Amino acid sequence: MASRFFLAVTCLLLTAACGSAPEPEQGKIAGNGTAAGGTGAAQRLNPGRWQQAGALASVAGPADSRCVSPEEALSTANGSDEQIGGALAAQAAKDGCKMGTVMISGPTIAWTQTCSGAILTMSSEYRGDSSTTTISGGGMPTLTTKSVRIGDC
The domain segmentation of the chain, as residue ranges, is: 2-151
What integer pLDDT is reported at residue 15 of this predicted model?
Answer: 35
What integer pLDDT is reported at residue 120 of this predicted model?
Answer: 96
Residue 9, pLDDT > 70, answer no
Q: pTM value?
A: 0.70
What integer pLDDT is reported at residue 126 of this predicted model?
Answer: 82
What integer pLDDT is reported at residue 37 of this predicted model?
Answer: 38
**Phi, psi dihedrals of residue 123, rounded to the nearest 5°:** -150, 135
What integer pLDDT is reported at residue 58 of this predicted model?
Answer: 53
What integer pLDDT is reported at residue 39 of this predicted model?
Answer: 44
What integer pLDDT is reported at residue 136 of this predicted model?
Answer: 96
| 82 CB burial (10 A radius; 0-12, 13-18, 19+) | middle
Q: How far apart are alpha carbons 24 and 81 in whole angstroms?
A: 13
Average pLDDT, the chain: 75
